[in-house]
C-alpha cells in the first residue's frame, strides 16, 4: 500500500471548529466538495482527553502547507466505500467519513484524528478485514500530529458497502480507536499485534545498531501479529465450511491460510533464533594469556568430537581450496584444452585442487549417464588431452579430482524382453549386476541399498565382483591417468560402506561425496533448526568410516535463505556454532555456493544472484573446505575480484578446515564473526566492525580492513600499535557496505581513540586519511603476514590414535630389523668358527705328506719342498679367508645399511610426522603410512642386489624415492606454518 493523500488547513469558519479536508485519491483527483460533511462533535469529552481535544479544535491554519507523503506498504486485495456519517469517540476526537460517491468501484473510509499514526492504520486494516470488508488499499498522511487514514474497501463480493452497514463500520472504528479496548481486550485478532509491530519498527532506525532487547521485542510482536492473522483465517475457514460455501471460495481462502502459516513459521523461526542468540552470543571474549592458550592446546590434543570414527583422505591435508572447473555447458567445447592455459592462474590464485567432470563415455554429453567406464574419449576431449591437463596440474601442485558416477550405468545392448541391461566394454556385466528393485531394467541382483535413480540401471554394490571391477577402474584412473581423488556422485543411491571400500582400496588424496538431501521445512518455510538435516550427512560420513567428506548442502540452504530474506539470525545454531554440517564436523565439510546442478543453466536450487559476494565472504573465511564454482570465478560485476581477495586472505592466514569460529553478532541485517582470532568478517547491510565492537586483537595489534564489497567486509590483524605513527587517524570500519570502500569510514572513526592503519587486498599499508573518497589509495611499506603458528593447534583423539599407530608400526619395523641383524651376525659368527676348523683340518691334511716324506726319505732338497708345500697351503688359506669375508660383507651389508638408515632418519620422521598431524588435523596420516611401508621394503630390495660393497644400485630407488617423497609431504605443512 502507498500512503497517498493531501492535507491542508483553511480558516475554521468554513467548517465549524475544524479545518477542511481534501483527500487526494490513488488516481490523483480530489474529492468533490459535495462529499464533504460537517462532523458532529461530542458536547463533552472525558478527562484527560479534553485538553487534547481542545487543542485540536484550536489548531491554527497554516496556508500553503505541503502534504507529507510516505510509502507504507502495498497489499493487493479487493476493495470498496460510500457516504458520510459522524462518530463519537470516547477516547479521543475522531472524524469518520464514509463515501460511496467519490470512487466508481470502491467505498472510501476516511478517519482523521490526532496521535493515531501507524498503529491505527495497521489495526484498522486488520479489523476491516475481519468485519467482512475487503481492503483494496490503505493510505496515510500526517502533519503536525494530525493523521488522516484513507481506506478503499468493498464487500466480499466486490461491491460497494451498502449504507445499512455503515453504522457497524462506524462502531468498529470507534471501538478500535478506543484506548481501553485496543490495549486491554482486543475484539479483533491482530489489532494489538499489528500496532506493536508498527511501534517497535519505529525504534529500529536504518544505519544504527538495534539493541538486543528491542530486536527481541520486535520478533515477539511480529510473531504475535502473524499468529493473529493465521488464527483469523482459520476462523474464517471454519465459518465458510459451516455455511457450506463454494469449494472455489474455500480453496481461495485456504491459499491465503497457507501463506499465513508460512509467515507465522518464519516469524517463529526468527523468535527461536533471537532466543538462541541471547544464550550463545556472549559478551566479547577477553584476551587469553599464553598459559591459557597453551592449556587449551593441550586439552584439544586429547579431545575428539564423538562423531569422528576414523581417518582417511576426506578433504585432503586440511588446507585445500577446491575449484569446480566446469559447468553444465562445458561439454559444448573442447574443455580439457580450454582449461590447460588457465592452470597456472589457478595455482597463483590459491587453488590446491580442481574437480573435473565425469571422464567416461556417456549417453548424456555431461557425463552423468556413463556407459563404457574405460572409454575416456568424451565430449570434454580425448584421453590424451585429459592426460595432458592432469600433467599440467601436477606441474603446478594442483590435485585433480575425478567425478565418479557408479550408482548407475547405462547399458550398451538390449537383453531379454528388449530391456537395456547388457553392458559393453571391458566391464561386460549383465542384468545380474542390476538391483532387483529396478524393474524397468529387469535387474536380478540384490535389493538396492539406497535411493532409486530411475533414469538408468542401478548397480548392485553388494556383489564382490562388482566391487572389484569398480576398484580396478578407479586404480586405472589413479595410476594410469593420474587422478588424485574422487568426488562420488549421488551417494544417496548406495550405502556409505561401499564408498569406504572403494576409498580404502584406492587410497586417493581427497575423497568426498554428493549427499544431497532435502532441508527441513514447515509450511514451506525453512526451519531455523536444521540439526536433523545435517545429522543425516554426518551419518553418511560415519558410514564411510570417516574416510570421505561431504558437500555441505545444509550450509548452502541456510545461507541463501538468510541472505535472500535478510534473516541473518539463521547463521548461528542454538549452541553458537555455524548452523550447517560444517558446524558439526568441519574437517569433513565441503562448503559451496553453487555447482553445475544448483546453478549454471540448470538452476535447480540457485543461490540469490545479488548475494553471491556475501556467500563467498562466508565460506572463504569459515572452517571447512571451500569449493568455488567456475562460473563465479569468471563472473563480472566484482564477484571475481571478491573471490580473489578472499582467497588471498584465507591463504595469508593459513585457515584450515578446523578454524575456530566465534559468532559475535547474528541479527536480521548483520552477521559478524571472528575466525582464529586473526580474521573478522561482517555480512549484511547492518553496521558492525571489530573495532567498534571493541574486540581485542591478539598481540596488542590493530584490526585493519583487508577487503570488502557490497554488504560485506573482512578485517585482519594488522601492524602492532606501538609501531604506528601518532599522527595516523583511525581505520575505516564497516557500516552498511553498499557504498563499498568509502562507506566503511564512519563507525570505526568514532568508536576508537587509538590510531591505526588499514591494508588493501595486496597487503599494502594505507593510512585512514588516504582512504577519503576524494583521494586514491597511497601505499607504503608492505605488512608481514600473520604467522599461522599463532593459531591454536588442535588434534582430536582419533588423530592421536592414528599417529600412535604409525609410530608403533615404525618402531616395530626397527625392532624387526634389529632382530634380523642380530640373527644374521650370529649365524655368521657360527659359520666363521666352522670355517676356521675346516681350514685347520685342511692345512694339516695338505702339509702332513710332505712333512713325512722329508723326515723319512731324507730327500735331496727337503727344506725347499716343505717350504713350497707350506706356501701353497698359506695361499689357499688366504683365498678361503677372502671368500669368507666377501660372503660376510654381502650378507651383512643390506641389514646393516637398513638399520643405520632407520636410526639416522627416525628423529626427522617423528618430528615432521607428529607436527604435521597436529597442524593438519590428521590429514598427513597417509603420508606417514607410506613412509613406513617403503622403509619396510628397503631391506628386501637391498638383499636383492640393491646394496653392494661397491655402493647402492638404482634398484634401491624403488624404496627410497617414495619414502623421501612421503617425508617431504610431512614436512610441507610444517614449513608453511613456520615460514608462510
Q: Cell numbers of 229, please? A: 492473522
Strands 413-414 and 679-683: unpaired
Query: Which distant-in-sequence residues (6+ apart) come within 8 Å of 435 by Cβ?
Result: 443, 445, 446, 447, 448, 458, 459, 460
Residue with cell 655368521: 828
- Active-site annotation holds for 514: yes
Residue with cell 474464517: 236
CA 931 to chain centre: 34
CA–CA gap between residue 776 and residue 902 (Å, rounded): 60
Strand partners, 666: 671
Query: Which distant-in-sequence residues (6+ apart) come within 8 Å of 924 by Cβ?
Result: 317, 913, 916, 917, 969, 970, 973
Q: How many residues does the chain have?
A: 980
The CB density around residue 214, as the number of other CB atoms within 10 Å, is: 13
Q: What is the DSSP string of 628-693?
A: EEHHHHT-TTTHHHHHHHHHHHHHHTT--TT--EEEEEE-SS-EEEEETTTEEEEESSS---TTTT
Query: Which distant-in-sequence residues (6+ apart) come within 8 Å of 258 by Cβ?
Result: 523, 524
CA–CA gap between residue 626 and residue 614 (Å, rounded): 14
CA 541, 546, 548, 550 torsion-angle sign: positive
CA–CA gap between residue 538 and residue 531 (Å, rounded): 10
List the one residue out of 666, 706, 668 whose CA is nearest residue 578: 666
CA–CA gap between residue 448 and residue 435 (Å, rounded): 5
CA 40 to chain centre: 65
From residue 519, alpha-carbon distances to 373, 626, 644, 727 in Å are 33, 20, 30, 53
From residue 461, alpha-carbon distances to 156, 475, 491, 493 in Å are 62, 17, 12, 10
Dihedral through CA 812, CA 813, CA 816, CA 817, nearest 10?
-150
From 196, 222, 514, 716, the catalytic residue: 514
CA atoms within 13 A of residue 353's CA, in its CB half-sphere:
29
CA–CA gap between residue 658 and residue 831 (Å, rounded): 60
Strand partners, 96: 111
3-state secondary structure 238-263: HHHHHHCCCHHHHHHHHHHHHHHHHH
CA–CA gap between residue 465 and residue 688 (Å, rounded): 59
CA–CA gap between residue 612 and residue 628 (Å, rounded): 11
Whether 199 contacts 119, CB under 8 Å: yes
CA–CA gap between residue 728 and residue 718 (Å, rounded): 14
H or E element in which residue 419 lies: none
List the one residue out of 366, 270, 363 whose CA is nearest residue 666: 270
- Active-site annotation holds for 716: no
Residue with cell 638383499: 943
Q: Does 48 sit behind a cis peptide bond, omega within 30 degrees of 0 on the bond before it?
A: yes
From 112, 118, 320, 489, the catalytic residue: 489
Cα angle for residues 26, 29, 30 (degrees, 5° grid): 110
Residue with cell 583423539: 797
Active site residues: 489, 514
Amino acid at each position: 500500500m502507498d500512503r497517498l493523500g493531501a492535507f491542508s488547513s483553511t480558516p475554521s469558519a468554513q467548517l465549524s471548529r475544524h479545518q477542511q479536508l481534501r483527500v487526494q485519491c490513488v488516481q490523483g483527483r480530489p474529492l468533490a466538495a459535495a462529499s464533504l460533511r460537517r462532523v458532529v462533535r461530542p458536547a463533552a469529552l472525558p478527562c484527560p482527553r479534553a485538553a487534547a481535544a481542545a487543542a485540536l479544535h484550536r489548531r491554527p491554519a497554516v496556508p500553503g502547507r505541503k502534504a507529507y507523503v510516505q510509502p507504507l506498504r502495498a497489499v493487493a486485495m479487493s476493495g470498496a466505500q460510500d457516504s458520510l456519517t459522524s462518530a463519537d469517540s470516547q477516547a479521543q476526537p475522531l472524524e469518520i467519513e464514509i463515501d460511496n460517491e467519490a470512487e466508481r468501484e470502491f467505498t472510501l473510509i476516511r478517519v482523521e484524528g490526532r496521535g493515531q499514526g501507524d498503529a491505527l492504520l495497521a489495526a484498522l486494516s486488520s479489523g476491516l478485514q475481519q468485519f467482512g470488508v475487503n481492503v483494496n488499499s490503505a493510505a496515510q498522511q500526517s502533519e503536525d500530529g494530525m493523521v488522516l487514514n484513507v481506506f478503499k474497501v468493498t464487500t466480499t463480493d466486490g461491491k460497494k458497502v451498502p449504507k445499512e452497514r455503515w453504522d457497524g463500520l462506524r462502531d468498529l472504528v470507534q471501538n478500535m480507536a478506543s484506548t481501553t479496548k485496543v490495549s486491554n481486550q482486543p475484539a479483533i485478532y491482530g489489532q494489538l499485534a499489528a500496532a506493536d509491530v508498527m511501534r517497535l519498527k519505529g525504534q529500529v532506525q536504518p544505519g544504527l545498531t538495534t539493541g538486543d532487547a528491542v530486536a527481541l521485542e520486535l520478533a515477539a510482536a511480529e510473531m504475535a501479529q502473524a499468529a493473529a492473522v493465521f488464527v483469523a483465517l482459520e476462523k474464517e475457514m471454519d465459518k465458510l465450511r459451516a455455511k457450506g460455501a463454494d469449494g472455489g471460495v474455500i480453496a481461495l481462502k485456504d491459499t491465503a491460510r497457507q501463506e499465513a502459516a508460512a509467515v507465522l513459521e518464519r516469524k517463529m523461526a526468527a523468535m527461536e533464533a533471537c532466543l538462541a542468540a541471547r544464550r550463545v552470543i556472549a559478551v566479547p571474549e577477553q584476551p587469553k594469556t599464553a598459559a591459557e592458550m597453551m592449556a587449551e592446546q593441550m586439552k584439544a590434543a586429547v579431545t575428539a568430537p564423538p562423531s569422528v570414527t576414523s581417518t582417511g583422505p576426506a578433504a585432503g591435508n586440511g588446507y585445500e581450496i577446491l575449484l569446480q572447473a566446469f559447468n553444465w555447458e562445458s561439454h559444448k567445447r573442447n574443455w580439457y584444452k580450454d582449461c590447460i592455459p588457465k592452470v597456472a592462474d589457478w595455482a597463483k590464485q590459491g587453488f590446491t585442487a580442481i574437480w573435473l567432470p565425469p571422464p567416461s563415455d556417456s549417453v548424456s554429453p555431461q557425463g552423468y549417464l556413463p556407459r563404457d567406464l574405460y572409454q575416456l574419449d568424451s565430449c570434454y576431449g580425448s584421453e590424451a588431452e585429459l592426460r595432458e591437463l592432469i600433467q599440467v596440474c601436477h606441474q603446478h601442485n594442483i590435485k585433480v579430482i575425478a567425478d565418479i558416477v557408479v550408482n548407475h550405468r547405462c547399458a550398451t545392448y538390449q537383453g531379454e524382453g528388449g530391456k537395456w541391461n547388457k553392458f559393453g566394454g571391458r566391464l561386460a556385466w549383465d542384468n545380474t549386476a542390476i538391483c532387483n528393485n529396478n524393474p524397468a531394467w529387469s535387474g536380478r541382483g540384490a535389493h538396492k541399498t539406497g535411493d532409486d535413480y530411475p533414469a538408468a540401471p542401478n548397480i548392485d554394490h553388494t556383489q564382490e565382483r562388482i566391487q572389484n571391477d569398480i576398484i580396478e577402474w578407479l586404480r586405472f584412473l589413479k595410476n594410469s591417468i593420474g587422478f588424485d581423488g574422487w568426488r562420488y556422485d549421488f551417494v544417496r543411491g548406495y550405502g556409505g560402506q561401499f564408498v569406504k571400500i572403494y576409498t580404502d582400496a584406492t587410497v586417493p588424496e581427497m575423497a568426498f561425496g554428493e549427499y544431497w538431501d532435502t532441508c527441513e521445512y514447515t509450511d514451506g518455510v525453512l526451519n531455523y533448526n536444521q540439526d536433523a538435516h545435517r545429522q543425516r550427512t554426518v551419518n553418511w560420513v560415519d558410514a564411510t568410516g570417516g574416510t570421505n567428506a561431504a558437500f555441505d548442502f545444509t550450509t548452502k540452504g541456510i545461507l541463501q535463505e538468510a541472505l535472500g530474506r535478510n534473516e541473518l539470525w539463521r547463521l548461528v545454531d542454538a549452541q553458537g556454532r555455524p548452523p550447517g554440517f560444517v558446524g558439526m564436523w568441519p574437517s569433513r565439510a565441503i562448503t559451496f555456493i553453487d555447482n553445475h546442478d544448483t546453478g549454471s543453466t540448470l538452476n535447480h536450487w540457485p543461490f540469490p544472484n545479488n548475494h553471491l559476494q556475501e556467500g563467498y565472504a562466508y565460506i572463504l573465511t569459515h572452517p571447512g573446505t571451500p569449493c568455488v564454482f567456475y562460473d563465479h570465478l569468471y563472473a563480472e560485476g566484482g564477484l571475481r575480484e571478491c573471490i580473489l581477495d578472499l582467497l588471498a586472505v584465507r591463504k595469508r592466514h593459513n585457515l584450515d578446515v578446523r578454524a575456530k569460529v566465534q559468532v559475535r553478532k547474528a541479527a536480521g541485517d548483520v552477521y559478524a564473526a571472528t575466525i582464529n582470532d586473526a580474521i573478522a568478517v561482517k555480512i549484511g547491510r547492518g553496521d558492525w566492525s571489530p573495532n567498534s565492537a571493541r574486540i581485542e586483537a591478539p598481540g596488542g595489534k590493530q584490526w585493519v580492513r583487508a577487503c570488502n564489497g557490497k554488504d560485506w567486509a573482512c578485517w585482519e590483524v594488522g601492524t602492532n600499535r606501538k609501531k604506528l605513527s601518532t599522527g595516523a587517524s583511525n581505520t575505516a570500519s564497516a557500516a552498511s557496505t553498499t557504498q563499498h570502500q568509502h562507506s566503511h569510514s564512519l563507525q570505526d572513526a568514532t568508536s576508537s581513540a587509538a590510531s591505526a592503519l588499514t591494508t588493501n587486498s595486496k597487503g599494502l599499508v594505507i593510512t585512514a586519511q588516504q582512504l577519503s573518497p576524494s583521494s586514491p589509495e597511497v601505499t607504503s611499506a608492505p605488512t608481514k603476514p600473520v604467522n599461522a603458528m599463532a593459531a591454536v593447534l588442535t588434534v582430536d583423539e582419533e588423530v592421536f590414535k592414528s599417529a600412535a599407530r604409525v609410530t608403533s608400526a615404525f618402531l616395530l619395523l626397527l625392532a624387526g630389523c634389529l632382530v634380523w641383524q642380530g640373527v644374521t651376525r650370529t649365524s655368521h659368527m657360527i659359520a666363521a668358527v666352522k670355517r676356521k676348523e675346516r681350514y685347520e683340518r685342511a692345512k694339516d691334511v695338505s702339509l702332513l705328506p710332505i712333512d713325512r716324506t722329508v723326515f723319512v726319505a731324507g730327500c735331496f732338497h727337503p727344506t725347499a719342498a716343505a717350504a713350497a708345500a707350506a706356501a701353497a697351503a698359506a695361499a689357499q688359506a688366504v683365498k678361503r679367508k677372502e671368500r669368507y669375508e666377501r660372503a660376510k660383507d654381502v650378507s651383512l651389508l643390506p641389514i646393516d645399511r637398513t638399520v643405520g638408515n632407520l636410526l639416522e632418519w627416525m628423529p626427522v620422521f617423528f618430528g615432521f610426522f607428529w607436527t604435521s598431524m597436529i597442524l593438519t588435523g590428521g590429514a598427513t596420516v597417509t603420508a606417514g603410512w607410506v613412509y613406513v611401508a617403503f622403509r619396510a621394503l628397503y631391506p628386501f630390495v637391498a638383499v636383492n642386489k640393491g646394496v653392494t660393497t661397491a655402493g647402492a644400485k638404482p634398484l634401491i630407488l624403488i624404496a627410497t624415492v617414495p619414502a623421501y617423497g612421503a617425508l617431504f609431504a610431512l614436512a610441507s605443512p610444517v614449513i608453511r606454518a613456520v615460514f608462510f
